[in-house]
Structure 1
């Protein structure tokens, strides 16, 4: 990437309102605002949002510079302080040397060979879920958004905690939903009261967090007392040792990583699956091709062998294209520790670089007819392979690439293949689904589908 030692040019400032800058435009319609910025600017654009200077990075090669080549110059932005209240100091919210240590400790739990052992659990839980869906009254549409929330919760609990969650999921799911809702609300609010103030939302948040903590600390304590080696994610995290010091994770660190895995492995996967099913309901030709592959490859076994899913190439393409159109992490932010030079421009120290996978994934310069759903973009040897590696970022990039990306992709393939193998489905008439950009890119309402 071209850089200069000094930057004589200011980053172009996008017009905004006095004092408020571009804040209202982002609050009212962030996705439309992003598209406007993409049309009107070429490389970087200076915005004033929430009283802060923020710089939207538009080119994949410059995104790579921020996220990979010069990543040590960038830390978590102030927005992550809100998430810290809910998630703690886990991989998603931590920074610097502490983050690097935690990443080293957690990485082995997500190696491909370790994940292979969890695939059997995913398949078994999905088979039970499919059996339950078959009991549904076919005359009534299925709330597939909620159905995916339920199954992803079951999968993440079973793969994270093994059998230690039996009969305890309802309260945990409700508490996590409350924390997620309140985090979204606080993130979007222009007025943020300190967490220590006893506002109704803060009281609800503390109560939900206590419920989550009681459950997770209880499982950790139980596991330590039994001194068992279990082949689930918690077992792997408990046994992880720092290669330099021999230290293991404290209970607090384990709690924070468990909550982070919960949030990433539950809500984001469920939202992505809801988008995928919605897209398939609008494209029956893609659905038919997907069903042919799943029924041919998986056969009629209730719990197909894990190896079979590796042959579902078109299923993976569908998942990848759905993540292109609706990436859960639709925007990311990084704060510059020191001034950074990108071409003729400078991002000043203390200011924020904004990166939008949603915008990168719909850039017509890289993706012809970008709003069209076309899984063949990801076919072997297809158009995606000709693009810059940072034109497609559903899981981020650089050292902070989502640690659970392979877990999520495998889970989505299993859920999708086993669902379309078992059912025909059609869209609900007059259901208008549009993106709702909260912390994650959710549908504006529950996706409902007719399962036949």
Structure 2
């Protein structure tokens, strides 16, 4: 379908067979293009923007750290981060789901990027603020047809530079403390320059935490609104835990209820709700001639809610078959999202840990409003309260850090 987004042709690809064919096409024919290039002022020359052999080399190294089977070694640290954040939130009478999950997702990806306890709370706040500074501007730039007036363009450049300096300062503080078995250690071993390593770190921190943080807010929402779901997941968490109450990494791939929950949330609210490629040489696709420079848009949001491929597509349903061709929250082919395995693991851990130890009550509108489309899908304002479950609700003893705490009085 031809979209009218400027003088150059832009095509929305709506057939999942064709989507997968084009995403797997040789990069000589179809590859990253002008929309992705607009991210370079923020993420620099990283796996998100690079092509060719350099891209493949870096992807292979990062995949060796972020693949789900490998990332499972971080389960104890990530579970601890979830419990710590949840206990803190349970002391408040009400908390924003996204305000809770976005920093938490950042904390978990930093465990894989740098190692445990490398990023300080001040560093976390700096990165969250940096994302806030640039995200709305990036979304506007991606589809802007006419240039900004000079004074607005200058103001936007200043905001980006401020955000970049904030992130650079964090990277400079934490790089030296990163463990050799983490993503940063792997990049150092690859022989990348300081600037190249910084660009990869910026990409992973910006892309990884905000996308997963958005999906995680919906995990919290459905735990608080779907009758019986939290109880079923609590039982699965108990069956997947050792005698000390810690989730066992080797059992998680068989924890079917939480896996289905994560997949359904990502179907309804894919964080990367669209992505693009450019045609590199003249080709014909389905009898439509495409010229070099034409842009192709792939939209998981559209595919995941297409009634041709899903029964009652807007309904939350854990019995769905996710092996279908119209399910691609992380893309497909050789340039599929590097953090796919890690993101799925983070969301599964969040679902199990929260269901096991907390009761969640939604304090805002149900059903929730639609998310706001930006570079990612920004969740609406979902307000909730967390209450530590009484041990008698489950036939287990809560870990010490999850014992009920007094609620702080409102000021």
- How many correspondences in the alignment? 384
Preserved CA contact (<8 Å) 1:290 1:420: yes
Preserved CA contact (<8 Å) 2:62 2:183: no
Distance 2:350 2:18 in 1: 35
* Alignment match, 1:212: 167
* Alignment match, 1:186: 141
Query: Equivalent of 1:164, from 107, 111, 118?
Result: 118
Distance 1:111-1:370 versus aligned 2 partners, 3 A rule:
closer
Alignment of 1:235 with 2:185, yes or no, is: yes
Preserved CA contact (<8 Å) 1:127 1:302: no
Alignment of 1:294 with 2:229, yes or no, is: no
Preserved CA contact (<8 Å) 1:217 1:251: no
Alignment of 1:437 with 2:346, yes or no, is: no
* Alignment match, 1:126: 82
Of stretches 429-438 and 419-428 in structure 1, the one that deviates more from structure 2 is: 429-438
Distance 2:96 2:7 in 1: 40
* Alignment match, 2:383: 448
Query: In the TM superposition, what is the alpha-carbon distance from 1:49 to its structure 2 partner?
Result: 0.9
Distance 2:106 2:67 in 1: 21
* Alignment match, 2:287: 344
Query: In the TM superposition, what is the alpha-carbon distance from 1:404 to its structure 2 partner?
Result: 1.1
Preserved CA contact (<8 Å) 1:195 1:202: no
Alignment of 1:315 with 2:255, yes or no, is: no
Show CA shifts across 1:61-110 (max 9, x none).
Answer: 11112101444411222122221111111111222333223223433223
* Alignment match, 1:369: 312
Distance 1:284-1:91 versus aligned 2 partners, 3 A rule:
same
Distance 1:104-1:424 versus aligned 2 partners, 3 A rule:
closer
Of stretches 188-197 and 84-93 in structure 1, the one that deviates more from structure 2 is: 188-197
Q: How does 1:30-179 map to 2 (within 5 A)?
A: 45-136=1-92, 140-162=93-115, 163-167=117-121, 168-179=123-134
Distance 2:80 2:150 in 1: 41
Query: In the TM superposition, what is the alpha-carbon distance from 1:195 to its structure 2 partner?
Result: 9.7
Give TM-score, length-normalised by structure 2: 0.85
Distance 1:413 1:345 in 2: 42
In the alignment, structure 2 segments of 5+ residues that lack a partner are 388-411
Give TM-score, length-normalised by structure 1: 0.78
* Alignment match, 2:393: none
Query: Equivalent of 2:360, from 416, 419, 425?
Result: 425
- 3-state SS of paired residue (1:424): strand
Preserved CA contact (<8 Å) 2:113 2:183: yes
Query: In the TM superposition, what is the alpha-carbon distance from 1:196 to its structure 2 partner?
Result: 11
Preserved CA contact (<8 Å) 1:55 1:347: no
Query: Equivalent of 2:322, from 378, 384, 394?
Result: 384
Preserved CA contact (<8 Å) 1:50 1:190: yes
Query: In the TM superposition, what is the alpha-carbon distance from 1:150 to its structure 2 partner?
Result: 2.0
Show CA shifts across 1:378-424 (max 9, x none).
Answer: xxxxx333x33xx1111011000111110111111111110111122
Show CA shifts across 1:15-36 (max 9, x none).
Answer: xxxxxxxxxxxxxxxxxxxxxx
Alignment of 1:416 with 2:370, yes or no, is: no
- 3-state SS of paired residue (2:113): helix
- 3-state SS of paired residue (2:293): coil
Preserved CA contact (<8 Å) 1:121 1:159: no
- 3-state SS of paired residue (1:102): helix
Preserved CA contact (<8 Å) 1:127 1:303: no
* Alignment match, 1:405: 340
Distance 1:85-1:451 versus aligned 2 partners, 3 A rule:
same
Preserved CA contact (<8 Å) 2:362 2:385: yes
Preserved CA contact (<8 Å) 1:48 1:54: yes
Distance 1:253 1:358 in 2: 32
- 3-state SS of paired residue (1:55): strand
Calculate the aligned-residue CA RMSD, in Å.
2.5
Distance 2:59 2:254 in 1: 31
Distance 2:358 2:369 in 1: 22
Distance 1:188-1:48 versus aligned 2 partners, 3 A rule:
closer
Distance 1:337-1:251 versus aligned 2 partners, 3 A rule:
same
Distance 2:283 2:151 in 1: 36
- 3-state SS of paired residue (2:11): strand
Query: In the TM superposition, what is the alpha-carbon distance from 1:291 to its structure 2 partner?
Result: 3.2
- 3-state SS of paired residue (1:375): coil
